[in-house]
Amino acid sequence: MRVFLTGGAGYIGSHTLLEILSKAHEVCVYDDYSNSAPVALMRVERLSNRTFQAVTGDVLDQGSLAKALVDFKPDVVVHFAGKKAVGESVAKPLMYYENNVVGTLSLLRGMEAAGCKRIVFSSSATVYGEPQYLPLDEKHPLAATNPYGQTKLMVEHILRDWCAAREGASAVLLRYFNPVGAHDSGQIGEDPNDIPNNLMPFVSQVAVGRRAKLQVFGGDYDTKDGTGVRDYIHVVDLAKAHAAAISYAEAHKGCEAINVGTGQGVSVLDVVKAFEQGSGQPVPYEVVARRPGDVAACYADASKAESLLGWQATRDLADMCETAWKWQSQNPNGYAAP
Ligand code: WQD
């Protein structure tokens, strides 16, 4: 199949690119490198021993995007490109609505021009808002609590309506929980701009000496050790879920939302302990006040992914930490030159 990846040079995009190249798909990556690095694509090319096309462009540049799509003629699009920092979305909501929502409309217009009617969308468990029950299944009420989550929810609604109006169209909305870890080679991984918002990259940077200590946001939640509980999923498992979703979109019509998680809840202190064991490095931390907007616990019921996609997460927390450490220790400055 011919697969078009927006944001394919990013953290999840590059791991998915490597996975689908191993399945002999023809691939075109479309990325503006605003939150990624071209060197990631060079490393994927070396790791896969496969070639693929790469077009530099912004999803908001409708002309450039439409041309890339018409030229490549994809069978399916995987849409990763978007802004993803919760805190930044609160400070800059218009940038998030423009990039994530208008950018998706631009993509759908380009897909129409290219005659492509299948899409896999990078959604997020954040669309569930404050959990009313756990584990979260896809029937849980949707209620985003920040502009980032609102953009994901809006795009889900847009894709659902687009599917209903477009004969033969299919859309798979993958609701990620917490992606972490790196490819076994340590050659590609998570390389956040500026100070990491997310736990695992921050812990990695403490372990490698780039940061002095971790601030644990809250020690008084109603959880097993008082710290936040999340469903961390290995990025390679997540990449495999995308490969399965591409096959599903090829064989089915309509719009399906699917959780992508392990079903296991893991606390912040569990992650700290596992990372120290996996890296052999201390991760000093200080428990501070809760982060506004955080929920106590959030983890998936992943049974729909198993029944619809035939996919299950297989990699455990130790592997997540070991591979995150391998990436970070081999690339202390991420993709930037040493
Ligand atoms: C995890 C836990 C924090 C940092 C968000 C988005 C989600 C997705 C992933 C994009 C929480 C604690 C964190 C730190 C800490 N976004 N923490 N100190 O908030 O569950 O999810 O990021 O893909 O859509 O909602 O992830 O990694 O920020 O936090 O104590 O320095 O770690 O309080 O309990 P989160 P996270």
CA of 63 from ligand 1 middle (Å) equals 35
User: pLDDT band at residue 244, thresholds of 50, 70 and 90?
Assistant: very high
pLDDT digits (tens, 9 = 90+) for 164-190: 999 999 999 999 999 999 999 999 999
- Ligand 1 proximity of 75 Cβ (cutoff 6 Å): no
Is residue 230 in contact with ligand 1, taking CB distance under 6 Å? yes
Mean pLDDT calculated for residue range 333-337: 91
Whether ligand 1 lies within 6 angstroms of the CB of 100 is answered as no
For ligand 1, is residue 269 a contact (CB within 6 Å)? no
84 C-beta closer than 6 A to ligand 1: yes
Q: What is the pLDDT of residues 292-321, one digit of tens each?
A: 999 999 999 999 999 999 999 999 999 999
Q: Cβ(223) to ligand 1 under 6 A?
A: no
Cβ atoms within 10 Å, residue 302: 26
Q: Whose CA is nearest to atom 22 of ligand 1?
A: 198
Question: For residue 291, how far is its CA from the centre of ligand 1 (angstroms)?
Answer: 9
The catalytic site residues sit at: 148
Cα(30) to ligand 1 centroid in Å equals: 27
What is the mean pLDDT of the segment spanning 140-151? 96
pLDDT tens track for 47-62: 999 999 999 999 999 9
Closest CA to 177 of 137, 143, 139: 137
Cα–Cα distance measured from residue 1 to residue 5, given in angstroms and rounded to the nearest whole number: 13
What structural domains does the chain harbor?
2-181+232-261 (3.40.50.720), 199-229+264-299+316-330 (3.90.25.10)
Task: Tell me: pLDDT of 213 over 80.
Answer: yes
- Hey, how many other C-beta atoms are within 10 angstroms of the C-beta on 47? 18
Distance from residue 86's CA to the centre of ligand 1 (Å): 9
pLDDT, one tens digit per residue, over 80-133 is: 999 999 989 999 999 999 999 999 999 999 999 999 999 999 999 999 999 999
Are residues 33 and 7 in contact, defined by beta-carbon separation less than 8 angstroms? no
Q: What type of residue sits at position 277?
A: Q
Per-residue pLDDT at 130: 96
In 3D space, the residue among 30, 4, 157, 147 whose CA is nearest the CA of residue 87 turns out to be: 147
Q: Is 157 in a helix, a strand, or coil?
A: helix
CA distance 174 to 231: 15
The pLDDT of residue 24:
80
In tens, the pLDDT along 184-203 reads: 999 999 999 888 999 999 99
Pocket test for ligand 1, best of 100, 178, 259 (most atoms within 8 A of CB): 178
- Chain segment 8-31, per-residue pLDDT in tens: 999 999 999 999 999 988 999 999
Q: Whose CA is nearest to atom 4 of ligand 1?
A: 199
Q: What is the pLDDT of residue 193?
A: 85
Q: Which amino acid is at 92?
A: K
CB-ligand 1 contact for 281 (6 Å cutoff): no
338 Cα: distance to centroid of ligand 1 (angstroms): 28
**Which residue has a Cα nearest atom 28 of ligand 1?**
198
Ligand 1, residue 149: give the atom nearest the CA: 24
Residue 6 backbone phi and psi in degrees, to 5: -80, 135
Predicted structure pTM score: 0.97
Nearest to 8 by CA among 261, 219, 196, 188: 188
- Mean pLDDT, residues 53-72 taken together: 98
pLDDT at 322 over 90: yes
Give the alpha-carbon dihedral of 263, 264, 265, 269, to 10 degrees.
-150
> How does the average pLDDT of the chain come out, rounded?
97
Assess whether pLDDT exceeds 80 at residue 338: no
Token couple for 66: 């439409």
pLDDT value, residue 49: 97
Our answer on whether the CB atom of 126 is closer than 6 Å to any ligand 1 atom is yes
Q: Within 13 Å and on the Cβ side, how many CA atoms surround 199?
A: 29
Helix (H/G/I), strand (E/B), else coil: 232:
strand
The band of 337, judged by pLDDT with boundaries at 50, 70 and 90, is confident
